[in-house]
Amino acid sequence: MLGVGAYRTRNRPALSEVLPLPIGEMSWALTDHRDQSVRPTDWAGHPVMVFFGFTWCPDVCPTTLSDISLWLEDLGADANRLIVALISVDPERDTPAVLADYVSSFDPRIIGLTGPADEVAKAAADFRVTYRRVDKDGGDYTMDHTAGVFLFHPDGRFASIIDFHEDRRFAVPKIRRTLS
Amino acid sequence: MNHFLLAAALTLSAPAAMACETVAIGDLTVEHAWSKATIGAGRPGVFYVEITNTGSTDDALVGIATPAAGMPMLHETVVQDGIASMPHAMSIPVPASQSVQLSPGGYHGMLMGLTTALKEGDSFPVTLTFEKAGEVTVNVDVLSLRAEGPDCADAGQ
């Protein structure tokens, strides 16, 4: 609680550089896997759970999305108001159609978001997320990216992060705290 | 062969049983080999397996090969300062009297250059090369993209 208070007073730039912006102060414009445009203001009044990744990734991303699907199953209808989004850090390959194919394997409440490179960069900056392209032999590439799952309260305030290797038993209570 | 034995033989070759079969080479046992369905053949597949070294000599997994992919490699997912990266692993240690898992979020085989998309219910062979024990081939079950691993108790093992 102290941390959140300090970051909201604007006289602690060090903290505000690390924590994601409140959803309402974000400025990105992306497209979801159904080709609908999505802006941060569309999420007003909803608890939010966001994860950055890319569909090329064979390990971290499907693992995280499997975990998220299990958490949503645990939460049942309580999580129906929760916005759950995967934001692609690889918009070059992740078109809305590719994301549609990908998210269809997981809980139907998970949406995929992509868009022009500069809008993805804007989203990453708003969430304080790092990503970078790593070129491989033969013209292929992969992406390094922040692997945590970000949680926000319905009023848009940042709530917490579920780390990639965090004990999964703590995830559901963390999500539950954003739902009321 | 009577009908009962034929049915038993077919059951053993069914996909659900393959991930649960155990293959041994020297002091090593290899089991629970599985993969995830892919979107098309353009994206890499993944390979997970469990290796147990019951001997008193350290060994190491130094490579994988499969007809399913042109460029299979060993990788490790590393999360440092919250950022996930996937460096190439030259070899994966299999110390004496220990088990090593290639599993989601850690060591894994990355199957680049898939010859065909991996579909749930498919299976394909992967040959593992160990520094000391040599080569062994296992059958790999393709589970759903959402799967967290094979359910071997339900497969009757």
A125-137 confidence digits (pLDDT tens): 999 999 999 998 7
CATH number of A21-179: 3.40.30.10
Residue B7 confidence (pLDDT): 45
Judge: A105–B84 Cβ closer than 8 Å, yes or no. Answer: no
Tell me if B149 is assigned to some domain.
Answer: no
Which of these ranges, A9-13, A19-23, A96-100, has the smallest mean pLDDT? Answer: A9-13
Which of these ranges, A72-76, A107-111, A128-132, B8-12, has the smallest mean pLDDT? Answer: B8-12
Tell me if B148 is assigned to some domain.
Answer: no
Number of domains present in the structure of chain B: 1
Q: How far is it, in rounded angstroms, from Cα A88 to Cα A127?
A: 13
Residue A13 confidence (pLDDT): 44
Residue B17 confidence (pLDDT): 54
Judge: B77–A60 Cβ closer than 8 Å, yes or no. Answer: yes
Tell me if B154 is assigned to some domain.
Answer: no
User: Residue A106's closest chain B neighbor by CA?
Assistant: B146
Give the full edge-to-edge strand order of the sheet including A37-38.
A37-38, A30-32, A110-114, A83-88, A48-53, A149-152, A158-162
Residue B10 confidence (pLDDT): 41
Judge: A60–B39 Cβ closer than 8 Å, yes or no. Answer: no
Which residue in A55, A147, A161 is closest to B84 by CB distance? Answer: A147
Tell me if B85 is assigned to some domain.
Answer: yes
pLDDT above 70 as % of chain A:
91
- The boundaries of the domain holding residue B104 are 3-143
List chain B residues with CB under 8 Å of A139.
none
Is the minimum CB–CB distance between B138 and chain A shorter than 8 Å?
A: no
Tell me if B139 is assigned to some domain.
Answer: yes
CATH number at residue B103: 2.60.40.1890
Is residue A14 scored above 50 in pLDDT?
Answer: no
Which of these ranges, A10-24, A158-172, B56-70, has the smallest mean pLDDT? Answer: A10-24
Q: How far is it, in rounded angstroms, from Cα A153 to Cα A46?
A: 7
Residue ranges of chain B with per-residue pLDDT less than 50: 1-2, 4-16, 154-157
Residue A10 confidence (pLDDT): 42
